[in-house]
Amino acid sequence: MTTTYTCREIINTKNLNRILKAKKTDHDTLTELKKMKRRLKNTNQHEIHFCLSKDGEQAGRLYPKRGAVSLQNLKGDVRKALSHDTYTDVDMVNAHPTILSQLFEREGLTCPHLGRYVAEREACLAETGMTRKDAKTAFILLMYGGKPRENATPFMTDFHTELMLNAAAVLDLVRATAPATPPATPTTTTTAAITTDVSPDDVDEHESVPSEPEVHIFPL
């Protein structure tokens, strides 16, 4: 399993300077962009070293070492402005729930609620009474260890219970085969071990798929 890698990021410095000059984005993003500009110096590219976020972790998303600024950390619209002429975005529809459901099924664990969310995501989101974006965020939080809120639907509560039980079962398998002791939070650990972190800004807007992940490739 790859736990480190190094890549080169090519930045559209013309757009970077425009964003910095306009000062229309939030303070934290501007701070990151200023750091990026200093790091680039007089070039349009820099080398980034990635690693796991914590020592001892066996899997999960890789992050820039020593807090280095990277396209990975930026909001989607800013990332698009800085990289649209160089990179192509490869986006898997409904990725995290689909991968989780396939993992559970592979291990012989039943997951009817997760399976329904994968196959009928739009209906599940609509049933919450929230906006589509807020509903997706709510389900993502449940997959990363969050608890159902007071206004959660019965389906969301059952979805959370099912996920916690199955995540704990998967962690038991990990403990039986891995020398190191995994962290204690079942849902967060299991999800991080087989998917990557996600923010509402990064969630795609396409229809869900019933079983196999669908991949969309389009310019940033």
Q: Give residue 88's pLDDT.
A: 87
**pLDDT greater than 90 at residue 187:** no
Q: Give residue 208's pLDDT.
A: 32
**Average pLDDT in the 34-44 region?**
95
Cα angle: 193, vertex 196, 201; to 5 degrees: 155
Q: Where are the domains of the chain?
A: 4-84, 95-177
Q: Which of 1, 52, 59, 51 is nearest to 180 (CA)?
A: 59
**Average pLDDT in the 93-108 region?**
92
Mean pLDDT over each residue of the chain, to the nearest integer: 82
Burial pattern 150-164, b for ≥16 Cβ within 10 A else e, equals eebbebbeebbebbb
The pLDDT tens digits of the residues spanning 108-164 come to 999 999 999 999 999 999 999 999 999 999 999 999 888 999 889 999 999 999 999
